[in-house]
């Protein structure tokens, strides 16, 4: 199932923040993205309604198995694309910014070939 780019970005941020600190709340997401709390609250509500996340009474946000699968996929794409861009001479900050855009549109075939190429050229 294809989800919107913004939802993928939120799932990746939740994944990243959880890896960094072990817990995630809406305020953490808002702070990380520089978005307003009401915007993040709306997104969190939609992610919860679509079973990508769960939200505990305490406000802690966890990825569901479905959300985790998407977040891990997007995170892998982001990381690998940034690595590739840096290998060809793109500055780190620019590479990560560009990879964030590319991760949503690259085909599975191209991404698979890129993984093979980078694996062979380490």
Q: In the prediction, which pLDDT does 1 show?
A: 44
pLDDT in tens, 43-59: 999 999 999 999 999 99
What is the pTM for the complete model shown? Answer: 0.86
Torsion of CA 12, 19, 88, 85, to 10 degrees: 10
- In the three-class reduction of DSSP (H, G, I as helix; E, B as strand; rest coil), residue 68 is classed as helix
- Domain 72-120, CATH: 1.10.60.10
- Residue 104's contacts (CB-CB under 8 Å, 6 or more residues apart) are 5, 8, 74
On whether the CB atoms of residues 60 and 23 are closer than 8 A, the answer is yes
pLDDT in tens, 2-48: 578 889 999 999 999 999 999 999 999 999 999 999 999 999 999 99
Q: What is the mean pLDDT of residues 89-109?
A: 93
- Share the mean pLDDT of the chain: 92
Select 5-69's CATH number: 1.10.150.240, 3.90.1150.10, 1.10.10.10, 2.40.160.20: 1.10.10.10
């Amino acid at each position: 199932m294809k989800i919107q780019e913004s939802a993928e970005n939120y799932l990746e941020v939740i994944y990243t923040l959880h890896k960094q600190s072990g817990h995630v709340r809406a305020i953490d997401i808002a702070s990380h993205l520089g978005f307003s709390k009401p915007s993040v609250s709306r997104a969190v509500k939609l992610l919860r309604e679509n079973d990508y996340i769960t939200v505990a009474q305490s406000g802690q946000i966890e990825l569901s198995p479905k959300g985790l699968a998407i977040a891990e996929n997007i995170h892998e794409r982001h990381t690998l694309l940034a690595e590739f861009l840096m290998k060809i001479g793109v500055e780190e900050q620019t590479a990560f910014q560009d990879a964030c855009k590319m991760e949503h549109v690259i085909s599975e075939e191209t991404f698979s070939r890129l993984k093979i190429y980078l694996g062979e050229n380490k």
